[in-house]
Amino acid sequence: MSQIKIATLGLAAAVAVSSALVAAPAFAAGEVKPPKSVHFSFEGPFGTYDRGQLQRGYKVYEQVCAACHSMDLVAFRNLGDPGGPEFSPAEVRVLAAEFPREVVDGPDDLGDMFERPGKPSDYFPPPFPNQAAARASNSGAYPPDFSVIAKARPNGPAYIYSLLVGYEDPPAGMELRDGAYYNSYFPGGQIAMAPPLFDEMVEYTDGTPMTVEQYSKDLSAFLMWTAEPKLEERKRIGFQVMVFLVVLAGLLYFTKKKLWRDVDH
């Protein structure tokens, strides 16, 4: 066998081996799975929020996620805004008063802070007094605020859904850190948050299936609304602007034809 042929075969083998070394451990080194394909009613230029889904999503957040995750930019009154869950004023008052945590207010006449039930004008009270307390209660991990998380993550709603349903046993040979759980949709594959949802964990009264997949989808839609509460209004204005531009273009075209029809070009 000639030296040229041997060199060629050696180069091909080296390329094959190096390709395998690059491709095979990429996921183990922290490559994240792309989000699952999931359809939401608000997708597309004419998509709108599903009111029932937003109300169910709030219920999941309030009963499960609010124990660790704040929502500093959302007030209880927003739950009744047009284009959102659209709870009635009476329902908003009840939701604010029955929220799992009371609102810190004050100072009173003695200069002391005190706690009271929430009112529609209040913002959602945080689960922890400060970041240090949040980390101390979660093994050093800081639970992010949920107000705009659906816009802060690429493919936000689909990513949130995938993360919530993506807990599974780690692949063979992978050793998890203490207190970590395996989730292939999380960067690095190891997440400090335990699986938060289980079937029949939150009671739905409208006949919707009470499954992890449904909870995850409803919560993802709710978090999309908190991140972009004016989505429907923005799409409506955008459509009106497009119609206006089409009409204006037509008027300009016929005006040009009329003004310049007798001019020799």
| Residue 17 confidence (pLDDT) | 33
- The 3-class secondary structure across 155-190, one letter per residue, is CHHHHHHHHHHCECCCCCCCCCCCCCEEECCCCCCE
Residue with tokens 């004419």: 46
Question: Considering its fold, how many domains does the chain have in total?
Answer: 1
Query: Residue 85 sits in which domain range?
Result: 48-251
**Is pLDDT above 50 for 203?**
yes
Is there a domain that residue 224 lies in? yes
Check if the beta carbon of residue 118 is closer than 8 Å to that of residue 96.
Answer: yes
Mean pLDDT across the stretch 159-177? 94
**Is pLDDT above 50 for 146?**
yes
Is there a domain that residue 192 lies in? yes
pLDDT digits (tens, 9 = 90+) for 213-233: 999 999 999 999 999 999 999
Which of these, 153, 167, 168, lies nearest to 227 by C-alpha position? 153
Is there a domain that residue 171 lies in? yes
Is there a domain that residue 43 lies in? no
Gyration radius of the chain over CA positions: 27
Is there a domain that residue 1 lies in? no
Read off the CATH number of the domain in which 130 is found: 1.10.760.10
Is there a domain that residue 25 lies in? no
Higher pLDDT, 2 or 178: 178
Check if the beta carbon of residue 52 is closer than 8 Å to that of residue 214.
Answer: no
Q: Model confidence at 265, in pLDDT bands (50, 70, 90)? A: low
Is there a domain that residue 20 lies in? no
| Residue 264 confidence (pLDDT) | 75
Is there a domain that residue 181 lies in? yes
| Residue 30 confidence (pLDDT) | 53
pLDDT digits (tens, 9 = 90+) for 69-89: 999 999 999 999 999 999 999
DSSP conformational letter for 80? G
pTM above 0.85, yes or no: no
**Is pLDDT above 80 for 235?**
yes
pLDDT digits (tens, 9 = 90+) for 12-22: 433 333 333 33
Q: Model confidence at 5, in pLDDT bands (50, 70, 90)? A: very low
Q: 115, exposed or middle or buried, with CB in 10 Å at 0-12, 13-18, 19+?
A: exposed
